[in-house]
Amino acid sequence: FEASIPAASRDLWQQFGVTEFQDKEAFQKEFIRHVETTLARSMYNCDDLAAYLAASQAIRDRLIVAWNKTQQKHTTKDQKRVYYLSLEFLMGRAMDNAMLNAGVKDITKTGVDDLGFKIEDLLEQEPDAALGNGGLGRLAACFVDSIASTNYPGWGYGLRYQYGIFKQRIVDGYQVESPDYWLAFSNPWEIPRYEIAIDVMFYGYTRKYTNDQGKTVSIWEGGEQVQAIAYDVPVPGYDTETTNNLRLWASKPTREFDFEKFNSGDYESSVRESQKAETISAVLYPNDNFYSGKELRLKQQYFWVAASLNDIVRRFKKTHRPWSDFSDQIAIQLNDTHPTIAIVELQRILVDMEGLEWDAAWEIVTSTFGYTNHTVLPEALEKWPVPLFGNLLPRHLEIIYNINLFFLQKVEKMFPKDRDMLARVSIIEESSPQQVRMAYLAIIGSHKVNGVAELHSDLIKTTIFKDFVAIYGTDKFMNVTNGITPRRWLHQANPKLSELIASKVGSYSFLKDLTLLKKVEPFAKDPEFIEKWADIKKFNKARLAALIKKNNGIDVSVDALFDVQVKRIHEYKRQQMNIFSVIHRYLTIKAMSAEEKKDVTPRVCIFGGKSAPGYYMAKTIIKLINSVSEVVNKDADIGDLLKVVFIADYNVSKAEIICPASDISQHISTAGTEASGTSNMKFVLNGGLILGTVDGANIEITREIGEENIFLFGHLAESVDDLRHQRRFNDVPINPDLQKVIDAIEGGMFGDKDIYGSLIYSVTGNRDYYLVSDDFQSYLDAQKLVDKDFKDKTTWVSRCITAVANMGFFSSDRAINEYAESIWNIEPVAK
């Protein structure tokens, strides 16, 4: 290896090699060194921000040492690796997690304490790395944590957006977005690798020519070029040496600017090209579960995929193995269809650049990729218009046509009598303009396709991908139920509960093997344990109450039932149904006598979540929640019996405070629409119960924790089509309780009724696509049961304990082991 140090000098290197700090004093020395040199400050001008930066530099150095060791080991062991391609990594803050996973939490805490700082204040300084929209991005973050913690050799590949998901403020009840410039104070958790710069091409044309072997081949020429620069984020595993890599790409211009124009004095247009290049990785698209066919989005996808594959192939070529070994060494997982173009790019590299035969290349491609589907919502399925696609990626379009041709030939042989089959399964949809169906391409180019919870995995086989099951058989389609990392979502978010559990398990081993939670089950009937558990819940509720006081200026009582729905705002997630039921509760309490009010279970209804900036209906729902909050919270007839709170700018850091503080959390999507959901797991793991529909992972949670410990309601997925049809074509009356709510809104109780016209229309007038009216009665009934059950505090807590004890299955470590065994075929790296 050319850049290696000659043998004679290596002793010296080893003698002076950097070692990790092992005790408080060593940490403090590093901390002060970073304050005084890295930051050029002193004890006379070191504020919390500087102290956070210095502490994180010290911890980062430690991670880099571990990172180096791990990468060296993985290179020498030369085992098969997995690459997780995701356009979103919703990491949140890094510092607390880095301290925990590296096992230096205590020494850094006491270390900064001696030096005049509080660790909690320093942690607060870190901006969230919010490079994702919601569940899909957070899943990717949990997965890289688990891949490292279970010692698998695996990297994440993503985009280094300069702007993460927008920040949300509420002004006059409306969502207002502002940019999230999270890199403003530099990012200590990334290592820029300016030497890893990969050229990526767009546009241009293809040209056919005859090569040396007399074969006619097509190559891609011309067009625009930009450079991808690697930024590495170390991902430390918990209680292990393994520190994996998350490589994020940033776009840079290939040339600084056009010298000709510069010399002729046209300065402005000389830098224009460079600015254009930088926009590729500038901003995260803020749509969750929604596809909008913007050219820049396709550019982002190809830019990231091309850079990642170039990197992967370059690393493989260094081993000098034959191409036929490729998929024995490399597994690539596609997080939804966003990276699907990777299938085509690898085929292009193998055929056009490396000269492999089509069939041999295709065999390598299909045995390398796995595709995870995360949604069945039609508006989320990616379909690129052929003209746009062919203009940006002309050679890729040709390859897609070839893939499609060979695929359709095979299908035609299998189903010679089914005339519609070919049109149904073709990668190209014959609409005008034609569209490239990315999900179909992903299925055809992968050896395994999985859904993210049992119901969802069954649904994709019987609905959107039905024909492909007929073609490939059922073995290609499987389920891997999502999971969450217990390090962040139990231990970091809820240290007191983690400690209480550890006192019964005997150690913190459950953070590595979550099934050990089962050991607390016997204590569900232990009065002393129940009391401690209840105290911790109260403490966590007080923490959330303080956040609400600070952000909203609203006083809430910790004795009230905390009812939480925090997630992206979407009609299918039915926040509208929740706020309608809050209005119903308000009307009901208002009509009560003083005597009747004594029976009411006081409730705090807490909402949070962002709407996509262009999603009018979701924005209207936010406005309604805030308007109801205004009216209810200041109504003297109501007092503490009902409070309504909208927490602005819901993000990972806020989730860490909110999840441990719920008594009830709501996961109430129309059956069959939420593929899995993962916050449902977070809330139960933190000792809250669920009010939910028979949808996504709620079903498996019920199976694990027992149906007596969850409040389920609503129609089942199998009835949804029929109910929609009934509403559409027959006169189905609207639920009378819902009608009362609508009357109140239309009577102006929550301000200008005109604001809510389209929202009301969406649940009435022969529409109600998400079955709000159909589910409303059973929803109210379930709410009633919650009110009643919450009065018996001991039984309630006992149910929470039993639920937590049975949540072991929902660790993302389990999910990763399933991927590793049944899709990636990779092994953990031994010590």
If the CB atoms of residues 240 and 673 are measured against ligand TH1, the closer one turns out to be 673
What is the rounded distance in angstroms from the CA atom of residue 24 to the CA atom of residue 20? 12
How far is 106 from 119, CA to CA, in rounded Å? 10
Classified as helix, coil or strand, 185 is: coil
Q: Which amino acid is at 567?
A: K
- Collect contacts of 780-783 with beta carbons under 8 A, ≥24 apart: 780/581, 780/584, 780/737, 781/713, 782/691, 782/711, 782/712, 782/713, 783/581, 783/585, 783/691
> With respect to ligand TH1, which residue has the nearer C-beta, 99 or 681?
681
Nearer to ligand TH1 by Cβ, of 456 and 643: the residue is 456
By CB under 6 A, is residue 133 in contact with ligand TH1? yes
SS3 220: strand
Q: How many CB atoms lie within 10 A of CB 259?
A: 10
- Tallying the residues shown for the chain, one arrives at 831
Q: Helix, strand or coil for residue 195?
A: strand
For position 686 contacting ligand TH1 by CB under 6 A, the verdict is no
Which of the stretches 127-135, 181-189, 398-406, 639-647 binds ligand TH1 when contact is defined by CB under 6 A? 127-135
Q: Which is nearer to ligand TH1, 376 or 642 (CB)?
A: 376
Q: How far is the CB of 480 from ligand TH1 (least distance, A)?
A: 10
Q: Does 677 bind ligand TH1 (CB under 6 A)?
A: yes
In the complex, what is the shortest distance from the CB of residue 573 to ligand TH1, in angstroms, rounded to a whole number? 9
Q: In which residue are the tokens 């254009």 written?
A: 276
Report 223-242 residues binding ligand TH1 (CB under 6 A).
none
Residue 85 sits in the site that holds ligand TH1 (CB under 6 A) = no
The CA–CA distances, whole Å, from 682 to 138, 371, 457, 516, 687 equal 12, 25, 21, 17, 9
Residue with Cβ nearer ligand TH1 (461 or 623): 461
Binder among 674, 700, 704, 774 for ligand TH1 (CB under 6 A): 674
Q: CA-CA distance, 503 to 582, in Å (whole number)?
A: 39
Token pair for 304: 């990231």
**Sign of the dihedral defined by the CA atoms of residues 248, 251, 254, 256, in that order:** negative
Q: Pick one of 93, 167, 374, 567: the residue that binds ligand TH1 (CB under 6 A).
A: 374
Among 245, 289, 611, 783, binds ligand TH1 (CB under 6 A): 289
Structure tokens at 824: 């990636």
Segment contacting ligand TH1 (CB under 6 A): 373-381, 427-435, 724-732, 791-799? 373-381
Q: Which is nearer to ligand TH1, 96 or 674 (CB)?
A: 674
Instruction: For tokens 């695996």, name the residue.
Output: 154
Residue pair 302/384 in contact (Cβ under 8 Å)? The answer is no
* Region binding ligand TH1 by CB under 6 A among candidate stretches 549-557, 676-684, 746-754, 807-815: 676-684
Of 126, 190, 288, 563, the residue at the interface with ligand TH1 (CB under 6 A) is 288
Piece in contact with ligand TH1 (CB under 6 A), picked from 226-234, 274-282, 374-382, 408-416? 374-382
Binder among 173, 390, 696, 808 for ligand TH1 (CB under 6 A): 696
Choice between 139 and 741, CB closer to ligand TH1: 139
Interaction of residue 450 with ligand TH1, rule CB under 6 A: no
Region binding ligand TH1 by CB under 6 A among candidate stretches 162-170, 287-295, 396-404, 600-608:
287-295
Whole-angstrom distance, CA of residue 174 vs CA of residue 170: 5
Min separation Cβ 301 and ligand TH1, Å: 11
User: How far from 207 is each of 217, 221, 222, CA to CA, in Å?
Assistant: 8, 7, 10
Applying CB under 6 A, the span of 13-21, 57-65, 105-113, 132-140 interacting with ligand TH1 comes to 132-140
What 8-state DSSP symbol labels residue 104?
-
- Give dist(CA 379, CA 152) in Å, integer: 35
How many residues touch ligand TH1 under the rule CB under 6 A: the total is: 20
Span from 7-15, 283-291, 577-585, 764-772 in contact with ligand TH1 (CB under 6 A) = 283-291
Residues 310-369 that bind ligand TH1 (CB under 6 A): 336
Rg (CA), the chain: 28
Rule CB under 6 A: choose which of 135, 156, 164, 486 binds ligand TH1. Answer: 135
Rounded Cα–Cα distance for residues 156 and 332 (Å)? 10
**Shorter beta-carbon distance to ligand TH1: residue 145 or 288:** 288
Name residues whose C-beta falls within 8 Å of residue 44's C-beta, 6 or more positions apart in sequence: none
Q: Which is nearer to ligand TH1, 99 or 159 (CB)?
A: 159
Q: Nearer to ligand TH1 by C-beta: 494 or 678? A: 678
Stretch in the footprint of ligand TH1 (CB under 6 A) among 158-166, 363-371, 398-406, 672-680 = 672-680
* Rounded distance between C-alpha atoms, residue 329 and residue 130, angstroms: 32
Q: Which region, judged by CB under 6 A, interacts with ligand TH1, from 34-42, 63-71, 285-293, 590-598?
A: 285-293
- Rounded CA-CA distance 577/373 in Å is 27
Determine if the peptide bond prior to 433 is cis (ω within 30°). yes
Torsions phi, psi for 113 (to 5 deg)? -60, -50
Q: In whole angstroms, what is the distance from residue 712 CA to residue 231 CA?
A: 45
Say which residues have a Cβ less than 8 Å from residue 352's Cβ, sequence separation at least 6: 217, 218, 219, 220, 395
> In angstroms, what is the minimal distance from the CB of 491 to ligand TH1?
22
CB nearer to ligand TH1: give 563 or 674.
674
Contact 671, 717 (CB under 8 A): yes
Helix, coil or strand: residue 747: coil
Q: What residues between 560 and 579 interact with ligand TH1 by CB under 6 A?
A: none
Among 146, 552, 653, 676, binds ligand TH1 (CB under 6 A): 676
Pick from 123, 136, 443, 671 the residue near ligand TH1 by CB under 6 A: 136
For the segment 460-499, give every residue that binds ligand TH1 (CB under 6 A): 482
Q: Does 70 bind ligand TH1 (CB under 6 A)?
A: no
Rounded to a whole number of angstroms, the minimum distance from the CB of residue 445 to ligand TH1 is 19
CB of 372 closer than 8 Å to CB of 334: yes
Question: In this chain, which of 675, 786, 803, 807 binds ligand TH1, going by CB under 6 A?
Answer: 675
Burial class (CB in 10 A: 0-12, 13-18, 19+), 792: exposed
| Residue that is written with structure tokens 């089950």 in the block | 521
Candidate residues 49, 219, 380, 408; the one interacting with ligand TH1 per rule CB under 6 A: 380
Is residue 678 near ligand TH1 by the rule CB under 6 A?
yes
Q: How far is the CB of 678 from ligand TH1 (least distance, A)?
A: 5
Residues marked as catalytic: 374, 567-568, 573, 678, 682
Select from 251, 375, 581, 806 the one that contacts ligand TH1 (CB under 6 A). Answer: 375
CA–CA gap between residue 148 and residue 222 (Å, rounded): 41
Could you say whether residue 452 binds ligand TH1 (CB under 6 A)?
yes
Question: What does the binding site for ligand TH1 look like in residue numbers (CB under 6 A)?
Answer: 133-136, 139, 287-289, 336, 374-375, 380, 452, 482, 674-678, 696
